[in-house]
Structure 1
Amino acid sequence: MQTAVLSSRSLRIALPLAAALTLVACAPMSTMYSQDSLPDAVKVPAGNKVVLQTVGVGEILYECRAKKDMPGQFEWTFVGPDAVLKDRSGMQVGRYYGPPATWESSDGSKVTGAQVAVAPAGTGNIPHQLVKANPATGMGAMTQTTYIQRVATKSGVAPADRCDMGSAGAKQKVGYQADYIFWKAS
């Protein structure tokens, strides 16, 4: 009988706690976001507000190619990303892939864009980036996106491996992570 009382008390505590945690996990992501620590070049102009914050985890594909207008010289060239977009609770909410660079929501809406600026993000990390969005396709989370910021980057830079005539055409994937912040006109 005492076991049943303890189980009943445990359930009275556990069920509301579980319900609260479920609500937090399903609640819309907070739009509290500060650009204060970012370089000016990648700050979104006034008149826009954050509507979605995601964490992209995936890979960037590089290919060893001849340098443009530099005969006999080669470099690792960015080909495109392939990443899963997750919300702050870890739930998958979309994908980021390319070329062209495309952010696609799980609801089917998607957006591409043109790079406006980049700024250094520390040794070994791809740079911060500001992208001006093109009109979205489909109706959903990406509809009316004006800007996309890439911040909080980790890794993702071109390989350090040899890239020369003998390795031309070689491809390598490099793991990375970055926050993608989506903005709409306010």
Structure 2
Amino acid sequence: MATQPDQMASASMVPETMQVPPGHKVALETVGMGLITYECRVKKDMAGAYEWAFAGPDAKLMDRSGKQVGKYYGPPATWEAVDGSRITGKQIAVAPGGAGNIPLQLVQANPAMGQGAMTGVTYIQRLKTQGGVAPTADCGAPNVGAKLTVNYQADYIFWKAV
């Protein structure tokens, strides 16, 4: 499942809905590798129906050479550099990631907390997703609150204003 960091997504492979607006440049390219936790919950506004709901990620962010440069965790979804600077954000677009893969995602970043690599980041793209979809195990009244983890990987591209 592991993609080499030097095989990261190029702009030509990114769906139009996932493009970062003009006036921004790539500041950091990473590969996130880790786990996504899902929790068995009652479906919102659907009494008697259940689903595996996203509960949060736990991943390492690696640079092109394979060195850990940060981590991704939540909730809320937080990208944190090894220097302690971190950001959260608001999802503004998604696109299909392919069968068995979580969707691609475009996030508008909130101002960074702390000074460092995440200072000035304006957008985060999640691209080239592998795995991470909700479990297929039974989810119902007997196991509400149960949690399961699944492996996933994705490229995270961090953008800053020019």
Identity of aligned residues (%): 63
Q: Structure 1 regions of 5+ residues with no counterpart?
A: 1-28
Q: Conserved in 1, the CA contact under 8 Å of 2:89 and 2:109?
A: yes
Whichever structure has more helix as a proportion of its residues is 1
Report the structure number with the largest CA radius of gyration. Answer: 1
Q: Conserved in 2, the CA contact under 8 Å of 1:61 and 1:81?
A: yes
TM-score relative to the length of structure 2:
0.93
Q: Conserved in 2, the CA contact under 8 Å of 1:33 and 1:50?
A: no
| Distance (whole Å) between structure 2 residues aligned to residue 88 and residue 82 of structure 1 | 20
Whichever structure has more strand as a proportion of its residues is 2
4+ residue segments displaced more than 2 Å:
none
Q: Report how far residue 33 of structure 1 moved.
A: 6.8
| Distance (whole Å) between structure 2 residues aligned to residue 85 and residue 37 of structure 1 | 21
The answer to which structure, 1 or 2, has the higher relative contact order (CA under 8 A, 6+ apart) is: 2
**Alpha carbon RMSD of aligned pairs, Å?**
1.6
Within 5 A, what are the aligned runs for 1:56-135? Answer: 56-135=32-111
Q: Conserved in 1, the CA contact under 8 Å of 2:9 and 2:128?
A: no
Aligned residue pairs total 157
C-alpha change, 1:33 and 1:152, in structure 2 (3 Å) is: closer
TM-score relative to the length of structure 1:
0.82
C-alpha change, 1:120 and 1:33, in structure 2 (3 Å) is: closer
| Distance (whole Å) between structure 1 residues aligned to residue 122 and residue 147 of structure 2 | 33
Q: 1:179 aligns with which of 151, 155, 162?
A: 155
| Distance (whole Å) between structure 1 residues aligned to residue 135 and residue 114 of structure 2 | 36
